[in-house]
Amino acid sequence: MVNYDLPPQPSLNNNKDVFDLAKKLPEEEKTFFEIQLELLVTKYARKVNEGNNGIICYLDVRSIKAVSQLVAILAEHGIQFETEQAMKILKVYKPGSGRYEFEQQMRAYDLIKQKADPSLAQVPKPILFYELPITPETKSIIESMGVEIVEDKVELILMDFIPGVDIATMLYREVAMRHPKLVHLQDKLEELSFSELQRHVFEALELKAPGGKGSTEGERAYEERLVSNENEKNLYEYLERDGYVFPETILNVLSTTIEWFHQNNFYLRDFHHRNAMVVDNDGQPSVYILDFGLAASVDDGSDPYTDKRSDAVYLDDFAVIRSLEGLSESKNEKQEKLNRDFVERLSRYEKRLVKNQSWQSITALHQEHPFDLDSIIRSIIQKKLAQVNTDTMADMIGAYLLGLFHRDQTTKSDVIMSINNQLKGDVDPILRKTLTQIKQAIR
């Protein structure tokens, strides 16, 4: 059963004040604290990114003298600032949703810290959750950043700032650096907002805006998913044609991390391209996982990606990884993989056919008159005609060999006549199809 009403998960730093600071401050100190926090939002927080449910702002509380007393109050409650910070302001105020997201991020952070494995992705350290009452002036400023405010308060999540780019931005920038219609953007890619960059890429690749027209929310979501999948396919195909290879190390890190989460009954349920951040450390990428608003613990073996109460269907945690796997292999790597698969499959057939009399005749013929038996079997397998019993498989190869040897020794018409004779009467459908293909191939 999905646990929607989790209490604060036990944190390794054991600091509960990050959840309930407002309840623990004396009234006068609380008022002063909220004034300084509001000052941070309106004057010092710089919007740097935007997601589905919130905007991300950059700030460095350590260097802002005007809020030094806020820093001191937090320090008294065990909340320290070790790095630059990101402040997430939730777009829509839904009581409890911000706290829930913070709790899930704390849960993920603790799981990563507990494992202490460098092969895992990281989670930005959650510092503070606070439900902040705001003035009309502050409301206007926040709304100008793209937040819908219907109450006189907002939910804030303060966490470590990660100075990287998400995977969607990585891919869009690769398109912009390669596409002839976007050459004018190459010197200012880092200055473009995500929405601006996305618009340019959509125009260049003629991608569709994912807006569903269905009569119900479910139908619209389905239509949007279809369009998004088609856009993703076209984007990947363009990059692959141009020789781009997505770093496989990133996928390995993400896959290992999600497996660790699942071992601990923790599911992200909204993991998409924008929720993975990559920081380039001199060619050695560090990977971070973001946004835990739909994450949940599932402790009874039920499907973590469906919600019976609302009929909601959530995104599979491995969906993005699977979609990027094809883009993470070069053409040579893909061919090598096909070759390995073929050799493995061929060895299985050889083990199954070794006692078959027809196969023994074929291999004896091979020893007397060497020919490329592997290529012949490869051709049959690639035509997906190999899901048959061993006798039929041997007969298929025998028929194929018959056609090849006749091609060298007789005229094409003789070969075709020979095959036509074999096709008379009651012939196995698979063998008939094989002989017909041989006949067409040698015309």
If you average pLDDT over each of 22-36, 205-219, 301-315, 350-364, which comes out highest? 22-36
Does residue 279 share a domain with residue 220?
Answer: yes
Let me know whether 306 and 344 are in one domain: no
Task: Give yes or no: residues 13 and 49 share one domain.
Answer: yes
Please give the average per-residue pLDDT across 226-249, as a whole number. Answer: 92
Residues 172 and 129 grouped into a single domain: no
* Residues 302 and 348 occupy one common structural domain: no
Q: Is the pLDDT of residue 408 over 70?
A: no
- With beta carbons less than 8 A apart as the criterion, state whether 178 and 192 touch: no
Packing angle, helices 68-76 and 27-39, rounded to 10: 130
Distance from chain centroid for Cα 160: 23
Q: What is the pLDDT of residue 14?
A: 42
**In this structure, are 36 and 176 located in the same domain?**
no
258 and 281 both lie in a single domain: yes
Same domain, 8 and 74: yes
User: What pLDDT was estimated at residue 409?
Assistant: 47
Last residue of a domain, one of 278, 309, 329: 329
Kindly report the backbone phi and psi dihedral angles of residue 88, in degrees, each rounded to the nearest multiple of 5, phi listed first: -100, 125
pLDDT for 234 equals: 94
Which position has the higher pLDDT, 119 or 371?
119
Residue ending a domain, among 115, 146, 162, is: 162
Q: What CATH number does the domain containing 155 carry?
A: 3.30.200.20
Question: Which of 43-47, 131-135, 256-260 has the largest mean confidence?
Answer: 256-260
Domain count, the chain: 3
Phi, psi (5° rounding) for residue 53? -120, 5
DSSP 130-190: EEEE--HHHHHHHHTTT----SSEEEEEEEE---SEEHHHHHHHHHHHH-GGGGGGTTSGG
- Pair 297, 337 in one domain: no
| Statement: residue 3 has pLDDT above 50 | no
> Residue 25: which of 100, 62, 76, 64 has the closest Cα?
76
* E-strand stretches of 161-317: 165-166, 266-267, 276-281, 284-289, 296-298, 306-307, 312-313
Judgement on whether residues 321 and 353 belong to the same structural domain of the protein: no
Identify the residue with better confidence: 396 or 207: 207
Average pLDDT value over all residues in the chain: 81
My answer on whether 117 and 201 are in the same domain is: no
| Residues 14, 134 share a domain | yes
Strand, helix or coil at 312? strand
Domain end point (choices 162, 183, 207)? 162
Q: How does pLDDT run across 168-202, given as a tens digit for each residue?
A: 999 999 999 999 999 999 999 999 999 999 999 99
User: What pTM does this model have?
Assistant: 0.72
H/E element holding 288? strand 284-289
- Contact between 145 and 89 (Cβ < 8 Å): yes
Print the domain residue range for 267.
Answer: 166-329
Residues 126, 159: contact at Cβ < 8 Å?
Answer: yes
